[in-house]
Structure formats: structure tokens, C-alpha cells
Structure 1
């Protein structure tokens, strides 16, 4: 039963069924047209024979005496009778009341049907009369008049057996041909479906081999431009994206586990060492301070992870008109004490009334993160923030004179937990730039970094302006 549900079998059945229905309809039309044509041909022959007989009235074919008609000697001749029998024709002469006056031919004793007598009204009549067995005779009744008066009726009859035999042979041909052709069509449809669906089987086998632990399998098919080829290429591309996503998620999970384990291990070590012996008050205070620092680091890391997980939802829901000029000024004012503490000059060049539609909290977090990074990695010198409108965008550039980044690391700095080298860790978890890129992407903007080791760094953020 399960095989009957396969696409191959269904395609074969549909193909055979469609051909069967088409051929049945076509065969019915052919049979009807053939039957109609044969009967029309037979009627035309009877009409022509009747006309030939009637044209001989008063001559060799039909005689009229005292208002009554009889067959002439030419019709009663043995040679003529033989020809009539060879043609299968029967000629009869009737009175208007249906009495047979004279008849020659095979069906001369056939009873007169009532339909034939309607010809007495002056109009020729065709009728079909059954005979013994299962045969029928076609009868053409022609009225004969003399001086406007009905003299009698002339009937020309011929068996329908040749027509019936021809139609029966046609039915036999249809009865054998239609099932055979339909069966061949079903077999052909199954073969074509199996050939066309062979790549689908390959896709199915490949899909069965795939699991979350192994996404390396690919569909091996010759490149084609048809639907199956495009399906296979799309499936392979999807697998590549899934493999990349799983790889990044596994890496993220591993990195997050490692980063979260570090402060927990430090806290455990502090507690273990502190409990080894009695400590003085200042030592306990120092241990508590160390625990507080690790706790804050752990909380900051967890908050960053939550922002990465929920950042897209927040940036998509809370949108409003934001004056970026005021926002940047506030961010710089907030970080000014930190820059002064490190003896750094924090310069700004912000154009007025830079407005966009966005999430103000997310934008504050973005620029706090970027300026804080610049302060962390600039031992001496200055940091400059410039903001201006560039066409339909707002361009914000944050430049520093810090330690810089080697160009080889630039493609990876926005990855989660990525660190250029230990000298740039500064106690962070490597999530700040990942969060920054997420916020910029949620605002339909772009972020880029240009840097050289020892020559400072410039971060450029472009956001759509209003």
C-alpha cells in the first residue's frame, strides 16, 4: 500500500488515467462519426437506387395501370434479381394502405412498418426495421404519383449488417487498443517519473545522512539548469549556511562557557585560599574586593550575552526620532572623566540637528562601547569624534592615536569573543564590537574599522538620516 502512495506510481496512474479518458472520449467521437457516416452513405445509396427505379416509371422498371404500379419486366429478370441480391437490395411495391403488391429480393416478405406508411403523405421516409436475430434493415419508402394522385409506394431495403460489422470491428479495436495503450502509457510514465525523480532520491539520501553533529554531506549531482538542478544547488547552499550557523553557535557556546568559567574559577580560588587559615581584617576586605570585581565582570558578561540574544527584538520594537547630535554630546560628556583620568584629550566635531529614527538606548550603548574601547586602547594622545551628514546618511567617525590593530585581524574583530591579542584584552570578554555591529545592523547601517598597528584606529559608523 505504501508503494501506491509514491510519486512514481501516482504519476504513472495519472498518466494512464489521463490517456485512458482521452482515448475513451476520442474513441466515442470516432465511433459516432463512423456510424453516422456509414448510415448516411447507406441512405444515400438507397435514395439513389429509389430514384433510379422511379425514373423508369412507365418503362422497364415500374408500370402504372389503372392507377396502380407494378414492377416491370427488367426488375423481374433473373439477371436483375441476381444483381439485386448481390447488392443486398430488396424492392417492393405497396399500396397506400401497406398492402404488398409485388416484391423482389431477400427481404420481400418483411412486414410493413407503420413508419413507412407515412410516405403516403407525399414525403419520402427512412425507417429501420428489426429482423429475426439481432439484425436490422434500412428501409427507404418513396411515394409514386400520377397526375397528382398517389399511385403507390416504392420501397428500397438493404441490410445494416455491413455497417454493424464495421462498427463491431471498430469496437473490438478500441476494446483491445485502449487498455494496451493506457498500460504502456502507465509503464512509460513510471519509467519517466523514476528517471526524473532519481535526483530527488539522492537529495533524500543526503538529507537522511545529515545531523546537527555532521553537516558536511552534499548532494552530488551533475550541474543542470532544470528545476531539480536548482533544487539541489539551493539545498547545498542551505546546508552550507546551516553548517556555518552551527559552527558559529558551537564556537559561541564554547567561548561563552570558557569566558564564564574564568571568573567563576577565580572566585572559587579566592574563597579556597581565604578559608585555608584565619585572615586579618584587611585581608578579608581584599578578598571581598576581589570577589566583587569578579562578580561585576561576570554580571557584565551575562548582560552582554543577553543583549546579543535580545538585541534584535529590542531594536525592532522601540523606534523613535533621535537627535544624534545631542546623544553624542551626552555620551562624550559621560566619558570625559574617564579620558581625563588617563590623561587623554577627547575632541568632538559634531554637526547640529543630526536626526534619525532608531532606539536611543541602543545608540547610547553603541557609542559608549566604541568610545570606551578607544579610551582603553589609547595609552597616550587623543581621541576625536566627528559626526556629519553625508548625503542621506549620518557618518560618525571615532579616531584614536592608540596601539592600533594589525590588518590581518580586522575581518574578525566583530566576531563574538574574538580578541586580537592579550595586550588588547583589557579585562573584556570580546563581546563589545559584536554588540556594536548588531545595533548598527538593526538600524540598517554599516560599521567599519581602519587601523594599523601602532598608528591608531578609526571606526566609522553610517546610519540612515531622516
Structure 2
């Protein structure tokens, strides 16, 4: 789960929880306050009725209900003495009984009273909600219990409507909170997104770029400073490494050349014994491999330091034909069959010298690691609106799957002993990959069909590659 979703969930959850708790408290207070007023009203009625009953000495015919706070006929009232004798009952007691065995001083109770009997603002089913208050008084010589119930069906409907409105408001608030949280999370993470995008652009080719520092000296500012400092150290290390490879390769080139010349002069001598001549030939082959390795190191170092292309319109099919012409003798000597299936032009914008070197390395690699005898190389080319794709397939031993991701690493060899015997330096594919990257292309090696090893190169079409 992305951080933005996590922040959205946490902010929304906290805000919704706070809103639900606050709304519940408000709803509770709004619903309790009317009942408190009704309880006070019932209590006042009960006290007044108790005084009138005491004044009438328990005789119902002598009760004077004039000047009561409210009309008793609008209430369900039942007054009893300690013996259970009814001292007073209102008109509503004829339609229902609100007495419960509970000893609660106040409670809500719902009863069904048909509208045809009396109108108490019943709902469609004839149900009426009553708020009942129990008043008990013991004056020493007399015990009295008065139950007063007030119809609150209209209040119940108002509370239900209030609950629906609060629920709808909560839904709208929840929707707004989620949207706002998502936007807020995006704004919080926007500097981090900028850092991520800038970090993706910074590679071994663009180590001179830095993450822009924000105006606020907050934690993100400190993170950007720390990353820029780290990139400074990496760039310094890369530059030192490139300089070392270039300088070391350049310094080694002259001594190796002199050593090869000396060995060739010795081989031209007629006084060498067969064993000495054989030993000198081995030394000369080793020197030539060292010279080839130094040359590759110089080429790789030069490309990494300069990273410039001299682009021009060229045809890859013609360039590949030139490469095969240079390898005609080698292919004939190793008895390798060539199937060039490119039938049309493959136009690209690129550096002809570097692309020539790219296919020299790839075809040389296909020849070196082909079958000892009766090998085969197939080459295919296709073009599209976006670019050109070239496939080189050669017969040979299958590449272990775990080695395929590392084939383009410098000095990496799948079979160390066999690679050394074939004269490989371990830099050919690394140089090829560097050339393809300079042209904004892609290169892949995989085990192809029919026991073939497949190398695929994709290069942009007529678009100029990015230059540095």
C-alpha cells in the first residue's frame, strides 16, 4: 500500500472517528434535553396533583383540578395510595395501561392506540410513544404514587428525522473528508515525489544533477541535503574510478606494445629452439590479449567520460554487411553458416563508428561462443514507427538462467575457463550495452528457440538520441 493511501486512511479515520463521536454527543444531548424538560413538566404536574389529593383527603369527588399547570386530559395520569386504591385517573387511562413493574423513576414506553379512539399524533400503525415519570411521596401517615405519561410521538418522529439528517451529514462529511485527506496527503507528499523523480533522473550519466532544496528548512530539506551530499560522494568516486581506469589503461598501452614488438623480434630470430619458440608464441598471445583488454578499457573509459555522439542518418543493414565482410575469413575458418534475413533498409539516427563497434562486439561474441564446428548465425531486422529491432541468433551452449541478468557486467564470464581460452576480455558486452544506452535503446540476451542464443537490440528510429 502506498504512503498516500496510508495517510489518507489515517487522516480520514481520525477525522471520521472524531466526527462520529462529536455527532453522537450532540445527538445525545439534543435528544436528552427535551426529555429532561418533559420530566420536569411531569414532575411539576405530579406535585401539584399530590397537593390537590391531600387537600381533598383522598376523595376523588372533592378533587379540585382547576388551575392545574396543564390540562390533565392531555396526560396519562394514575394516582394510587399505599393500598393500591386509585386516587385519580385521567381520561387517557381508559385507552391503555402504562404501568410497568420496574422501579425506574422515568421511562419510555410505546403503546398502540387506534386513531379512531383518540388522536395522539399516532403513526400509521397507531403506535404512540409515552414518556412516563413516577412520583412517589411518603408523608408518614400516607403513601402516594403518581404515574404521569405524556405522549411524545411527535418528539420521537423529530428525533428520528434528526438522526436521519445527522446520518446524511455524516455521509457527506465522510465523503468530503476522504477527498480532502487524499488531496492533503498528495500535498504533503509532493516534495517527496519531487525528490523521487529527481533521484530517478540521477544516474551514472547524470551525476551532476542535484535535488532542489525547498524554502522551508524542515525534515524534507534535511533529507534533500543528505541525498545531495551522498550524490557528491558518489560522483567523486565515479570520477576517480573513471580517471583511474583511463590513466591506468593509457599507461599500460605503451609497455605492452613495446613488449609485443620485442617478442615479435625474438620470434624472427633463426637461432630459437622449438621449445623456446613455442613459449615465446604463448607469451605473444598473452600480450595480445592484454593489449585487447587495455584497448577495451580505454574505449569504455572514453565513452563513460565523454558520452558524446556524432549522429547522422545511416542504414543499419549496410553497417551490418560491413561487419560480416570483415569477418569473412574467420567465419570460413570456423565453418559458421550465416543467414542474413535483413531484406530492407533499417534507417536510424546514430553514431556510425559506435554502432559499428556495437555490432562488431555482438557478432564477435556470436562467433566466439558458437559451436566448435557446423555453427550457425542468423540475423533479422524489423522496423516500425518507433524504431528498429535487430535480432542476432547463434548456435551454442545454453546460458544458465541465473547468469543472464549479469551478462552485461564488466569482466563477468559465464564459463571462466572457456572464456579465457577463447580470448574474451569480459568487456565486449559491457561496451555494447554502453553504446546502446548512449543511443537511448535497449539490449537483451536470452536463450532463443531451437537451442539458439538470441541477442536483441532495439534502437529509436529517426529521432535524435539524447545528447549530453
Q: What is the TM-score of this pair, normalised by structure 1?
A: 0.48
TM-score by length of 2: 0.48
